[in-house]
A and B are shown apart, each in its own frame.
Chain A
Amino acid sequence: MTLTAKWRQWLPHLGIALVVAYCLAPFYWMLVSSLRSTNDVFSTSLLPSPVSFANYRSVFGPAQGFTRALLNSLTVAGVTTALSLVLATFTAYAMARLEFRFKRLILTLIIATSMFPVVSIVVPLLKLFTDIGWINTYQAMIVPSMSFTLPLAVWNLTTFFRQMPDELEQAAMVDGCTRGQAFRKVIVPLAAPGIFTTAIITFIAAWNEFLIALSMTNKPGMQTATVAISKFSGATTYQTPFGSQMAAGVVVTIPLVVMVLLFQRRIVAGLTAGAAK
Chain B
Amino acid sequence: MADTAIPPGTTAHRPGTAAARRPGRPPASASPRRRPRATAGAGRLAALLVSPTLLVLTIVVLYPTLMALDESLYGVKGLDPKTGFISDTEPFVGLKNYTDILTQAGDRFWNAFWNTTCFTVVTVSLETVIGVAMALIMHRAFRGRGLVRASILVPWAIPTAISGLLWKWIFNADGIANVLLGHQVLWTADGFSAKVAVVIADVWKTAPFIGLLVLAGLQVIPREVYEAARLDGASALQQFRRITLPLVKPALLVAVLFRCLDALRMFDLPYILIGAQKGSVETLSMLAQNEASNVRFGPASAYAVLLFLYVFLIALAFVRLLGADIVGDAGGTKKSRSRPAGMLGRRAREVTA
The yes or no verdict on A and B being binding partners is yes
Q: Is the CB of B176 within 8 A of A20?
A: no
- Once A and B bind, how many residue pairs between them come within 8 Å at the CB atom? 336
Q: Is the CB of B46 within 8 A of A26?
A: no
Known A-B contacts A19-B152, A99-B32; the reply to A272 vs B6 at CB < 8 A is no
Q: Is the CB of B60 within 8 A of A208?
A: no
Inside 8 A of A276's CB, which chain B residues have their CB?
216-217, 219-220, 251
Report how many residues on chain B are interfacial, defined by Cβ distance under 8 Å: 120
Known A-B contacts A104-B327, A122-B289, A267-B153; the reply to A87 vs B53 at CB < 8 A is yes
B244 at the interface (CB under 8 A from A): no
Inside 8 A of A162's CB, which chain B residues have their CB?
329, 332
Interface string of A98-116 (1 = CB under 8 A from B): 1111111111111111011
Kindly identify which residue among A94, A208, A229, A264 contacts B165, using a CB–CB cutoff of 8 Å: A229
Q: Is the CB of A19 within 8 A of B143?
A: no
Interface string of B115-154 (1 = CB under 8 A from A): 0000000000000000000100110110110111111111
**Which of chain B's residues has its CB closest to A90's CB?**
B49
Q: Which of A23, A147, A246 has the most CB of B within 10 A?
A: A23
A123 at the interface (CB under 8 A from B): yes
Q: Is the CB of B64 within 8 A of A104?
A: no
Q: Is the CB of B162 within 8 A of A252?
A: yes
Inside 8 A of A215's CB, which chain B residues have their CB?
289, 292-293
B169 to chain A, nearest CB (A): 5
B31 to chain A, nearest CB (A): 12
Inside 8 A of B60's CB, which chain A residues have their CB?
121, 125, 143-144, 146-147, 150
Kindly identify which residue among B38, B57, B160, B176 contacts A29, using a CB–CB cutoff of 8 Å: B176
Q: Is the CB of B153 within 8 A of A211?
A: no
A265 at the interface (CB under 8 A from B): yes
**Which of chain B's residues has its CB closest to A112's CB?**
B1
CA distance A252 to B164 in the complex (A): 14
Interface string of B314-334 (1 = CB under 8 A from A): 010000000000111111100
Inside 8 A of B42's CB, which chain A residues have their CB?
98-100
A22 at the interface (CB under 8 A from B): yes
Q: Is the CB of A19 within 8 A of B289?
A: no
Q: Is the CB of B68 within 8 A of A124?
A: yes
A165 to chain B, nearest CB (A): 11
By DSSP majority rule, is chain B's interface helix, strand, loop, or mixed?
A: helix
Kindly identify which residue among B61, B151, B267, B311 contacts A211, using a CB–CB cutoff of 8 Å: B267
B56 at the interface (CB under 8 A from A): yes
Inside 8 A of A275's CB, which chain B residues have their CB?
213, 216-217, 251, 254-255
Known A-B contacts A99-B37, A264-B153; the reply to A245 vs B330 at CB < 8 A is no
B73 at the interface (CB under 8 A from A): no
B311 to chain A, nearest CB (A): 5
Known A-B contacts A115-B261, A118-B267; the reply to A277 vs B49 at CB < 8 A is no
Q: Is the CB of B68 within 8 A of A120?
A: yes
B45 at the interface (CB under 8 A from A): yes
B82 to chain A, nearest CB (A): 14
Known: A19-B208, A100-B38. 8 other contacts (CB 8 A): A19-B137, A24-B151, A30-B166, A111-B327, A118-B267, A123-B300, A150-B56, A179-B45
Query: Which A residues fall within an 8 A CB radius of B?
Result: 12-13, 15-16, 18-20, 22-24, 26-27, 29-30, 33, 42, 44, 87-88, 90-91, 93-96, 98-113, 115-128, 130, 143-144, 146-147, 150-151, 154, 158-159, 162, 166, 179, 204, 207-208, 210-211, 214-215, 226-227, 229-230, 240, 242, 245-246, 249, 252-253, 256-257, 259-261, 264-265, 267-268, 271-272, 274-277
- A and B contact pairs by CB, cutoff 8 A, 7 listed: A23-B152, A24-B151, A87-B53, A107-B327, A123-B300, A210-B267, A245-B169
